[in-house]
Structure 1
Amino acid sequence: MSIEIEDKFDVQADYSVPDLTKLGDVAGPKTYQLVALYYDTPDLRLAARGITLRRRRGGTDPGWHLKLPKAKGVRQEITHPLTRSTKVVPEELSELVRAFTRGAELVAVAELETRRSVTLLQEGGTALVEIADDRVKGTVFGDEPKIERWREVEAELLSGDQALLAKVGKRLRKAGATPSDSSSKLGRLLDRPPVPRAGTEPGTAGHTVVDYLESQVVALLAQDPRVRRAEEDAVHQMRVASRRLRSALKAFRKIVTDTVQLQDELRWLGTVLAEARDLEVIRARFAGELAQLAPELVTGPIQTRLGDDLHRRELEAYERIKETLSGERYYALLDALDRLVTEPELGKAASAPAKEMLSGVASANWNRVTRAYDTAQAIDDYERRQIAMHDVRKAAKRARYTAEALQPTLGKPMAKLAKHAEAVQEVLGAHQDGVVAQETLTKEAESARQAGEDTFTYGLLIGLERGTAERAEAEFPHVWAETVEAVRKVI
């Protein structure tokens, strides 16, 4: 896997790559003949999302390549060795695009034949930037095949910095190249169907909310391939996107209506993701605490129980996630999210001016936090009050997410509100995490005791976690008082 950072340019047939010797040592050009087959669903679902999946022969990197967009000019590239078959996409790659194909067949939709002339910009023998001058023949398959020919130049960052890439691009433009409107050769060749958008009026509450919902749907879909590969932090980011969507659907229920069932399905997805994420977090937490202890205080096979054993359970949880992400219920959820941002059910409030309508939503969500706090403090029983304080944390998180969603429209006050809500969320979260960690350690210690293992270190860790929870609990009244005063100045 690699991150591809490149700039693409359209050039005329008689274009000449300019002299780049002032930017570094130049090697080449060297010429290659490349033949690539591109795969998609018959209705081009991958192309609509800017995703390319190809089987390429020739050049320095023959094989299968899957390119997933990350940002403008930046794509994640995942490779697989070349296979004999031109009809069957390797399962490792077809699995990674299931969120987009949703069970539809992948077929060859186009072929690109490219005569590539490669020049390398180097320093001390290290390649920094590759400049590829491509003469392309593209064929779109179908009842009436379409053939196009063109020339383009790509400047790809290999190991230099983006400032150098920008300098190369400037030289290419001065020589007559123009930035390409298409992010890929395939995108240029195909009549790529645009991703549908809801017909909301700019400046209205409906437009603002649907734009935010769309950004979170895109975020969720972007994490899907990363979760399937068990990449670092991917489950967390996907879970956050699902939570933000649920929070927004609740907060803006008068603007985008009839979403209760969708909220339930997002909750289900969050639950599926939770097990692996929680195990990941607590395993890292215990590893950090054990590393801080003097070696003589770490007794018995505790590092195995809190490390390897938890990691095994985490991997098992990942397998359950992958199974879920390839199921019909998940595909139905993704279809529902597509409809949410293309054909949303809008209430009367959606047509109101965004600033006028949405400032009230932010205030209402913070008021939910204060009501939850008052309810919790009115409970005499300590255990029941702690459970109620968890509701305060959830309300604070929703207020934070709502404020962040509204920041582009309502500006700095929402940034401040989000920061204050996050302060409440974090201190309550520190207390909750300490309590949960104690419970986990107690269970693990009992298993160790039954196996005849030394449980001394478990007691030390439980003491550390108890201290963490108690400090957070003692800190909260001060944080709450400061936050309430600060929020009063914002809304």
Structure 2
Amino acid sequence: MTESKRETERKYEVPAADGTGWLPDLTGVAGIESVVDQGIEELDAVYYDTDDLRLAGASATLRRRTGGSDAGWHLKLPLTADSREEVRAPLSGTVPDALRDLALSRSRGAELKPVVRIRASRGVRRLVGADRTALAELSIDVVRAEPLHGDATPAAWIEMEVEVATDTDPGFLDAVERTLSESGVGRAPTPSKLARALRETGLKASRAPEEHAGTVVPGSAGDEVRRYVEAQVRALVDLDPAVRRERPDSVHRMRVTCRRLRSVLRSYRPVLDRAVTDPVREELKWLGSRLADARDQEVLLERFTSRIEALPPELLFGPVSARLRVWDVGSASDARRRTLDALGSDRYLALLDSLAALARRPPLRDTAAGDARKVMGRAILKEYGRLEGRVAHALELPPGPARDTALHQARKAAKKTRYVTESACEPLGRPAERFGKRVKNVQKVLGGHQDSVVARRALWKLASAAQSAGEPGFVWGLLYGREQAAADARERELPAAWAKASRPKLRKTFGS
């Protein structure tokens, strides 16, 4: 069993040896009415990681801590510069399976071992507001770090943390920091105790990650593509724990990340060796397909629920809501199982290894050294040409299944064009940003059409199940008709949306 909380804090250097005499008076700062001494806590934590420190390299920490009010296992995952999600599990002798799974996208299945022991004598002060509510906790830690393997040496230091309470505006930290800064107190050199322990003790990974290939030219096409690929790999790794914990929209975001990576690896074949990237693209396609059912089910349930709730009561014939719940329970359970099976498979771990290697040492071709604007502009134009042909083909077809299929293919091409444009926004600037927005609008129109196509298929199955059970099918037929009308409306919107995206100067803009 686990529980979690959002932790928002900042760490500071302590300028005095005793760690107390330098502390400025914080009364009156950001609504602080009093500073209440809470005494001393003795904390003892063993941090776990892989031999090559994969968790630390991904800004995550896993520890087993005794002492204090929150003894237990803690997995900290990054959210923002100052915030982390801390997932807790009760004390036990080994790493809890739940935390091991949440760390899997970072550990990539490698064994988690004790790497460093950190003990701290913590002096705690509560920063209290006018209504006697705790705004934050200020702690001064006398820290001792002991490496548990290698030739590293122990280290010791003193640091301060200011952690806001759950309901406190994070802007509170800025006001406190201004006061601390005026007293000569600066930020700590590292964001966590583990990071500082690794630095201070000289603890090294047993197998250091490879550096980026020496052929990456700063500012080149290869450099820009590498940056984008790195960011998307990082996003996929970060989303894995959220998907496992069924966080809202996490499946959708992970699926989109798979698409972005697939699209960019395809669009930049002149930059990256396809002998390396094509197998990765296939595995990303596999992962995306395992996420698709869960996402589609989520979207359809939300869509149908809102449609049914908007109907007048006099039109609700039969056990419509009950039928929808039965349909969702069965479909959602199967989709969830397929997703978790995929994330727990050796195939997924192999994909994570491939992505880590791709981000760390991209397989660059000679073209990668070229000018980013020219190389990336050509990639945009190539995807645009494919999109242009598919939209034209779809618009030539009469309404019906063939046109639905053609519009879906145009939607896929719009996504690829959008993603390759998105990756080029930094070197190409405003023209790429504006074009990306217009293509996104085309994708939105085509996406609305495809959503209606998928919804009609599901409504037909719901109507069939209702009929077999002797239930009225009126509501399902009514919703089917409305979905058909929505699809027709999107088709009428498409020519205008496409006209804005297909401006004559496009080839001149990106081809120069």
2:251 corresponds in structure 1 to 235
Instruction: Please give the residue correspondences for 1:155-194 in structure 2 after superposition, counting only pairs within 5 Å.
Output: 155-158=162-165, 159-190=167-198, 191=203
2:8 corresponds in structure 1 to 5
Name the aligned partner's letter for residue 265 of structure 2. L
CA distance in 2, matches of 1:297, 1:411: 52
CA distance in 1, matches of 2:327, 2:128: 47
Q: What is the aligned counterpart of 1:469 among 478, 484, 487?
A: 487
Does structure 1 residue 271 correspond to structure 2 residue 275?
no
Does structure 1 residue 139 correspond to structure 2 residue 155?
no
1:119 corresponds in structure 2 to 125
Q: 2:411 aligns to what SS in structure 1?
A: helix
How far has the Cα of 1:102 moved from its partner?
A: 2.4
Structure 2 residue runs without a partner (length 5+): none
How far has the Cα of 1:437 moved from its partner?
A: 0.5
2:78 corresponds in structure 1 to 69
Q: Which moved more, 1:189-198 or 1:160-169?
A: 189-198
Instruction: Please give the residue correspondences for 1:80-479 in structure 2 after superposition, counting only pairs within 5 Å.
Output: 80-83=89-92, 85=93, 88-123=94-129, 124-142=131-149, 146-158=153-165, 159-190=167-198, 191=203, 196-199=210-213, 200-258=216-274, 259-379=277-397, 382-479=400-497
1:56 corresponds in structure 2 to 65
Q: Which moved more, 1:162-171 or 1:252-261?
A: 162-171
Q: Label 1:382 to 1:282 Cα distance change in 2 as closer, same or farther (>3 A).
A: closer
Q: 1:162 aligns to what SS in structure 2?
A: coil
**Contact 1:416 1:490 (C-alpha < 8 Å) held by counterparts:** no
**Contact 1:230 1:318 (C-alpha < 8 Å) held by counterparts:** no
CA distance in 2, matches of 1:209, 1:192: 30
**Contact 1:216 1:244 (C-alpha < 8 Å) held by counterparts:** yes
CA distance in 2, matches of 1:102, 1:217: 13
Does structure 1 residue 33 correspond to structure 2 residue 42?
yes
CA distance in 2, matches of 1:122, 1:312: 50
CA distance in 2, matches of 1:487, 1:127: 60
How far has the Cα of 1:382 moved from its partner?
A: 4.1
TM score, norm. by length of structure 1: 0.95
Structure 1 residue runs without a partner (length 5+): none
How far has the Cα of 1:181 moved from its partner?
A: 2.1
**Contact 2:372 2:427 (C-alpha < 8 Å) held by counterparts:** yes
How far has the Cα of 1:358 moved from its partner?
A: 1.6
Q: Label 1:312 to 1:386 Cα distance change in 2 as closer, same or farther (>3 A).
A: closer
**Contact 1:420 1:487 (C-alpha < 8 Å) held by counterparts:** no
CA distance in 1, matches of 2:452, 2:399: 20
CA distance in 1, matches of 2:154, 2:142: 14
Q: Label 1:308 to 1:187 Cα distance change in 2 as closer, same or farther (>3 A).
A: farther
CA distance in 2, matches of 1:355, 1:401: 16
Identity of aligned residues (%): 39
Superimposed CA distance per residue, residues 246-277 of structure 1 (whole angstroms, 9 cap, x where no aligned partner) = 01011111001221111111111100100000
How far has the Cα of 1:195 moved from its partner?
A: 5.8
Superimposed CA distance per residue, residues 380-425 of structure 1 (whole angstroms, 9 cap, x where no aligned partner) = 6843233122111111111111111111111111111111111111
**Contact 2:52 2:209 (C-alpha < 8 Å) held by counterparts:** no
**Contact 1:47 1:192 (C-alpha < 8 Å) held by counterparts:** no
**Contact 2:233 2:355 (C-alpha < 8 Å) held by counterparts:** yes
Q: 2:503 aligns to what SS in structure 1?
A: helix
Name the aligned partner's letter for residue 102 of structure 2. L
CA distance in 1, matches of 2:187, 2:474: 65
Q: Which runs of 4+ in 1 moved over 6 A?
A: none
Superimposed CA distance per residue, residues 427-473 of structure 1 (whole angstroms, 9 cap, x where no aligned partner) = 11111111111110011110111011122211121122111111111
Q: Which moved more, 1:378-387 or 1:140-149?
A: 378-387
Name the aligned partner's letter for residue 13 of structure 2. D
**Contact 1:64 1:80 (C-alpha < 8 Å) held by counterparts:** yes
Q: 2:79 aligns to what SS in structure 1?
A: strand
Q: 1:186 aligns to what SS in structure 2?
A: helix
**Contact 1:28 1:119 (C-alpha < 8 Å) held by counterparts:** yes
CA distance in 1, matches of 2:501, 2:348: 39
Q: Which moved more, 1:101-110 or 1:178-187?
A: 101-110
1:14 corresponds in structure 2 to 18
**Contact 1:287 1:307 (C-alpha < 8 Å) held by counterparts:** no
Q: 1:202 aligns to what SS in structure 2?
A: coil
Superimposed CA distance per residue, residues 170-194 of structure 1 (whole angstroms, 9 cap, x where no aligned partner) = 2223333221221110111123657
Q: Label 1:467 to 1:375 Cα distance change in 2 as closer, same or farther (>3 A).
A: closer
Q: 2:124 aligns to what SS in structure 1?
A: strand
**Contact 2:10 2:163 (C-alpha < 8 Å) held by counterparts:** yes
How far has the Cα of 1:378 moved from its partner?
A: 4.6
CA distance in 2, matches of 1:19, 1:111: 33
Q: Which moved more, 1:113-122 or 1:377-386?
A: 377-386
Paired residue total: 488
2:56 corresponds in structure 1 to 47
CA distance in 2, matches of 1:198, 1:181: 25
How far has the Cα of 1:156 moved from its partner?
A: 1.3
Q: 2:111 aligns to what SS in structure 1?
A: coil
CA distance in 2, matches of 1:345, 1:145: 34
Q: Label 1:350 to 1:187 Cα distance change in 2 as closer, same or farther (>3 A).
A: same
Superimposed CA distance per residue, residues 323-345 of structure 1 (whole angstroms, 9 cap, x where no aligned partner) = 21121111111111111112222
CA distance in 1, matches of 2:163, 2:407: 52
Q: Label 1:319 to 1:264 Cα distance change in 2 as closer, same or farther (>3 A).
A: same
**Contact 1:252 1:361 (C-alpha < 8 Å) held by counterparts:** yes
